[in-house]
Structures are given as C-alpha cells and as structure tokens.
Amino acid sequence: MAAVQVIRSEWTKIRSVASTVWTLSLTVVVTVALGTLISALSRSQYDRMPVRERLSFDPTVISFAGMTLGQLAMIVFGVLVVSNEYGTGTIRVSLAAVPQRGTFLFSKIAVAAALALAVGMVTGFAAFFLGQAMLGSLGTKIGEPGVLRAVIGSGLYMALIAMFSMGVAAMLRSAMLSLGILMPFFFLISNILGNVDATKKIGRYLPDQAGSRIMQVVPRIGDDTPYGPWGGLGIMVLWVIAALAGGYALLRKRDA
C-alpha cells in the first residue's frame, strides 16, 4: 500500500475514534481555562508576593500554567492512538494490509503528531492571549523578546509529549500499562527529581523538565541550568527519538 494511502487510512482511524477526539478537545479546554484562572489569581496576589518571586515573575509562563494538566490529556491521546488497535485486535488486520511495519507505524505517528501540533499551537496562542488579558498591566506582548518563541514552543512541547507517549505505547502495546508508567513518570517522579536538591542535576534532563524550558522567558533567580530554551527542547527531541526508535524496533521483532 502506498504511503499516501496509509496516511489517509490513519487519519480516518484517528478521527473516527471518539476518545481521541475528546482528549484533544480536553487538552485545549483544560490548558486554556486553568491558565486563564491562574493568570487572574496571580494578578490579584502580585502585591503580596515576596520580592524574589516578583523579580523572576514571568507572565508568559503564568499563562501556560494549565499545561501541567493539558499535557495529561495529550499523553492519553498519544497512548490511545497507538494502543487502541492492540486493545481491539484490529492491529492484525492493519499489519496484514500494511506489512511494511515502518510505514505503518510512522504514518500513524506522522498523522497524530501533525494533529497534536495543530491543537498544541491553537492551545498555546489561546492560553497566552487570554492569560495576558487576565494579567492586565502585569502582562507582556507577543512582540517582546522571547515571547513568540515561548508561545510557538508551547505547541511544539505538546506535540513532542504526544510523540513520546506514542513511542512508549508502541513498546508496551497496552494503554493501561503505558498510562500506568507515563502518568507517575511525568507527574510524580519528574517533579520529585527536579525539585530535590540532591537530584536536580538529573531531573533537569528528563523530557518534560528540559522541554518546558522553551516556554520560559524570564530567567529564574539562581537558576544554573546549563542549557537554554532551544537546548532544552533539543534534549526532549532526543527522548522522543529514543522512544520512537524503541517502539519501531519492538514492532519489527514481535508478532501482532
């Protein structure tokens, strides 16, 4: 089957599954709503913030505060895109129709990643503009140095989170197992390693810790991270490549 036909087939699969559509919709709603709320709260609490926090106050990052929950929905999307076919058993039919396993997997990833990127960009720009509206005089503008990079970077970050999740799901083939590993990894282990003094130097190289640097405009006081925004995103890209390579290697070896 030609690659174009495979891509068209994968697009049909994704849009016809209600759960994947709902998770993408939830990504937008949760990220924008929470970011707007926290921006409004930050404005009301600004005068009571310690001086140290005011000096490193980053209005761009504040508007992306909802990304923490939004990426949860994006992780679910990435996992479901790959694992749904294993859960229903239709993976056998798909691989019979497309015996070139690389074409099958990377067509699926290309379609899902493009969709995740589009949703991530819409989410990033919406969260930014609504967040800045809530921040009022404390806000910033899209034309300020580093701001447009951060907003575009937020969309790239969301797409990479989805792609990393797809790679893990391709390796594990189970939605429950994949989510059972990814959720604690991103929402517990990464936060612990990134915030405990003894493990900070390790935590900063995890995919979410490194990738989220792209959304930062104002440097934190005392931050000694040895890479910048694009360097952090580059580290995240390496994690994504490793996950996808692992998924492809195992797909080639195993039976459906």
- What is this structure's pTM? 0.92
The tens digit of pLDDT for each residue in 108-138 reads 999 999 999 999 999 999 999 999 999 999 9
Nearest to 78 by CA among 178, 163, 170: 163
pLDDT of residue 256: 55
The tens digit of pLDDT for each residue in 68-93 reads 889 999 999 999 998 888 777 777 77
For the chain, the structural domain boundaries read 3-253
The tens digit of pLDDT for each residue in 172-208 reads 988 899 999 999 999 888 988 888 888 888 999 999 9
Which tokens belong to 158? 């969301």
How far CA 207 is from CA of 11, 90, 96, 186, 214, in Å, comes to 27, 31, 34, 9, 12
Q: What's the CA gap between 217 and 58, in Å, rounded? A: 7
Is residue 61 within 8 A of residue 128, CB to CB? The reply is no
Res. 143 pLDDT band, cuts 50 70 90: very high
Q: Which string of b and e fits 60-81 if b means at least 16 CB within 10 Å?
A: bbbbbbbbbbbbbbbbbbbbbb
